Amino acid sequence: MSSTMAEHQAAYNSRIEELRSKEFPMIQGDVYLDHAGTTLYPKSLMDCFVADMTTNLYGNPHSASISSQRSTTRIDDIRLAALRFFSADPADFDLVFVANATAGIKLVADAFRAAPEGFHFLYHQASHTSVVGVREEAKTSRCLSNHEATTWVSGTSSQNEAGQGVPTLFAYPAQSNMDGQKFPLDWSTKARQVGREAGGQVFTLLDAAALVATSPLDLANVDAAPDFLVLSFNKVFGFPNLGALIIRRQAYPCFQHRKYFGGGTVDMVLSIGEQWHSVKSTRPHEALEDGTLPLHNILALGHAVRLHRELFGPMQEVAAHTMFLRQHLSSRLCALHHTGSGLPVCTMYSGEDPGDGTYHGPTLAFNIRDATGAWVSTAEFEKLAVLKHFHIRTGGLCNPGGIAAALQLQPWELKQNFSEGFRCDNGNDIMKGKPTGVIRVSLGAMSTISDVDRFADFVEEFYATSSDTITPGLSAATPKLSGLYVDHLVVYPIKSCGGFRVSAETTWEVRREGLAWDREWCLVHLGTGQALSQKRYPRMALIKPSLDLVQGKLNITYVCPKSPNDVRVLSVPLSTDATAFKTITPGCAASSRVCGENVLARIYAADEINDFFSGILETPCALARFPAGGAGQSMRHAKAHLQKHQRSTAPKAASQAGVDTPPDSDNEVDKPKILLSNESPILAISLKSLDALNSEIVRSGRGSPVSAEVFRANVVIGHSSSDKTSFLPAYDEDHWSTIAIGSHRFRMMGSCRRCHMVCINQSTAEKTDEPFITLTKTRKFDGKVFFGTHMCWTPRRMDDPLPARIQVGEAVIVDP
């Protein structure tokens, strides 16, 4: 880059920095890097829109009233402004307002499907899912690699659908939404030429949704233009949610066969006696915009087009700025190498660009490998990114062909992954050692150098280190020292709400499925049936249940953090009296979802109960009960198993389970039952490990010590300060295979994987980024973060009728 260009970019960047605080207050300290999803809207756009809406009365168009006429005039003006944004002459093009790019694609598919002989459909492999779906309407369809597409449009392909008497629709993205690759705009002219030479007709559908967000698109040359072009304005301006289908008028006859008509698109309809109608024919959009137009969105678009230019200058400036940032980020990420092994940290899927945006837009797709070369889970990466206030997208990105090509996933592998439980965005992202998705960073007009630097610093800090920090534990051969005891016991009657500390005087019942009354209740969203969690509703931590076994009551207290005098209480009987619950209508069982599994929980009928929780959480929800000892389908099984970092140093446990198979992995019968807990019957943590973690948090200056509560354990194990136990290292629990508490035995089921829910302060419901960040630095194995251990009670005999009882203060003996 020449020095004058660099100066120009630096000056533009400073201008954007200034704009940021005034126009984008919603970002605050966050780094928004998901502009390909939806970009951000400036504050003055909202101000102009509100001022317009509150000053002028806009009626439904198509009537003679002043308010209606005002709307009609504004819509005409804005339609023209939107065409001009792409230098499109209204004599050559018409613009149809649609809900989004997808709706524009569907409208084109609607027209072609109605063609008398159907149509051939060709689509580029980098196409968005919304384009791929068109193939289901076609007579024949083919997915073309980039090479095949290039050959096809040059007329040298051995396979040419164009001359076979039916129209061909050729679809491709102007820019891939996955990795930012751009495709030639002259393919439209070439494709039409291929059609003419073969004596047939070829039409082109250009998906410009990703391109136009940050690049100019010029339709001044009508002969070179695509026949159909789709986009979503929210990707360009952030607001409003609105799309467009731009039709080259010469291609308009394609719509003559479209069958459906709706209000607004017909001049006359006969229904009684005879079925006849006449479609509006003066201007294409009149025949294609079914129903009431999204008037308010269109009005907002008018302001958006004008303001975008005022704030950012012409699109050429936006393109240059975002490409400058992309180059900077790309070179920083490519420069990262692991200190020990020298391996690169990032595997880039987005190619090189000369820097002027000829071949790529400002989107980067990549994955990360650790120092050993193993892939980092994109879901884990995202967890940490969220905590550090980065907004990025990970996963398959609605681009099936692009992802399969980048990750070299064959159809059989994808199908195998699917049958093994992989679904779009379910967190199952490394399968058989290969990633199934990518990390995508996409930049927008309001991105700055400091955004991309912060992101590169983040990747460097957390991923460009030497290998996973393995905390050495004692080998299994070392005799275990004791001096451990139960420091306290906590029951969480309502999943994700506060804990109830068992008093030191009481012995507490332990069942196969966990501590008595633990996670027997949950709150479910009334709309989705989904069990609510602190991750989304941190305030749940402040809902404090307590168990009164004498009165037979579950008492719940909530103190509003903002006004401590606002104390709310509720009491729910512990009995499972059927009349307390909503009756279940056969065939529409009230199944709820807990951690992605369907469970049959029974919902309380009393408004008083459900209003109590809905009021606190400000979301419509209900209390549900999952009967203890639940039977049949509603029962769930523990998912915890030994982790790799444990297996290598726990030969005893590994040999019991057979080489390489995690214990419990195959045998349903051997998996203990659980109620609503996430993974296992009982979760234990050790205060020795917590001390180690807290010293590290303090030593590194990252924050202040966290309390044991954030880990939401049932059994908190303390250590007496006798000389002997001081030898016991922190995290020794990773390597235990059984423990005894009093006279009862518990089998260890593997380390507990952690997410950023451990960052919610359980007394204030506030979120910080500790202890997750320090855990990531010190307790990451195989790309996942662990703290604490799952376990279950193992009765001495399977038919042992007495439940176990344990108590605070009892000794804990390791591997007795």
Residues near ligand PLP, by CB under 6 A: 36, 100-102, 128, 130, 173, 177, 207, 209-210, 232, 243
The first and second tokens of residue 702, run together, are 């990252």
Which of these, 164, 162, 110, 163, lies nearest to 137 by C-alpha position? 110
Please give the Cα distance from 786 to 380 (Å, whole number): 12
Strand order through the sheet with 567-573? 543-548, 553-559, 567-573
Of the pair 209, 333, the CB lying nearest ligand PLP is at: 209
Going by their DSSP bridges, the two strands 390-391 and 636-637 should be labelled as unpaired
Of the pair 243, 681, the CB lying nearest ligand PLP is at: 243
Q: How far is the CB of 450 from ligand PLP (least distance, A)?
A: 26
Distance, first Cα to last Cα, the chain: 69
Of the pair 130, 774, the CB lying nearest ligand PLP is at: 130
Of the pair 213, 676, the CB lying nearest ligand PLP is at: 213
Is 533 in contact with 555 (CB distance < 8 Å)? Answer: no
Burial of 427 (0-12, 13-18, 19+ CB in 10 A): middle
Residues in a beta bridge with 543: 558
Which of these, 378, 388, 361, lies nearest to 455 by C-alpha position? 388
Q: How far is the CB of 399 from ligand PLP (least distance, A)?
A: 8
Of the pair 209, 247, the CB lying nearest ligand PLP is at: 209
Q: How far is the CB of 296 from ligand PLP (least distance, A)?
A: 18
The answer to whether the peptide bond before residue 771 is cis (omega within 30 degrees of 0) is yes
Is 792 in contact with 681 (CB distance < 8 Å)? Answer: yes
Of the pair 36, 617, the CB lying nearest ligand PLP is at: 36
Is 467 in contact with 388 (CB distance < 8 Å)? Answer: no
Q: How far is the CB of 123 from ligand PLP (least distance, A)?
A: 12
Q: How far is the CB of 38 from ligand PLP (least distance, A)?
A: 9
Burial of 783 (0-12, 13-18, 19+ CB in 10 A): buried
Of the pair 243, 396, the CB lying nearest ligand PLP is at: 243
Q: How far is the CB of 210 from ligand PLP (least distance, A)?
A: 4
- Active-site residue flag, 398: yes
The first and second tokens of residue 185, run together, are 């705009």
Q: How far is the CB of 557 from ligand PLP (least distance, A)?
A: 45
Instruction: Enumerate the H helices of 434-576 as residue ranges.
Output: 449-463
The first and second tokens of residue 555, run together, are 């008492």
Q: Position 787: which residue type?
A: F
156 to each of 173, 191, 198, 333, how far by Cα in Å?
22, 11, 12, 39
Residues in a beta bridge with 800: none
Of the pair 393, 544, the CB lying nearest ligand PLP is at: 393
Residues in a beta bridge with 34: 442
Phi then psi for residue 353, to 5 deg, are -140, 140
Of the pair 100, 762, the CB lying nearest ligand PLP is at: 100
Q: How far is the CB of 100 from ligand PLP (least distance, A)?
A: 3
Please give the Cα distance from 739 to 791 (Å, whole number): 9
Q: How far is the CB of 105 from ligand PLP (least distance, A)?
A: 8
Spatial neighbors of 491 by CB under 8 A, at least 6 apart, are 499, 500, 502, 508, 515, 516, 517, 518, 547, 714
Q: How far is the CB of 92 from ligand PLP (least distance, A)?
A: 24
Burial of 535 (0-12, 13-18, 19+ CB in 10 A): middle
Of the pair 100, 327, the CB lying nearest ligand PLP is at: 100
Is 180 in contact with 330 (CB distance < 8 Å)? Answer: no
Catalytic residue among 254, 346, 398, 792: 398
Q: What is the CB neighbour count within 10 angstroms for residue 743?
A: 10
Please give the Cα distance from 659 to 646 (Å, whole number): 13
Active-site annotation, residues: 398
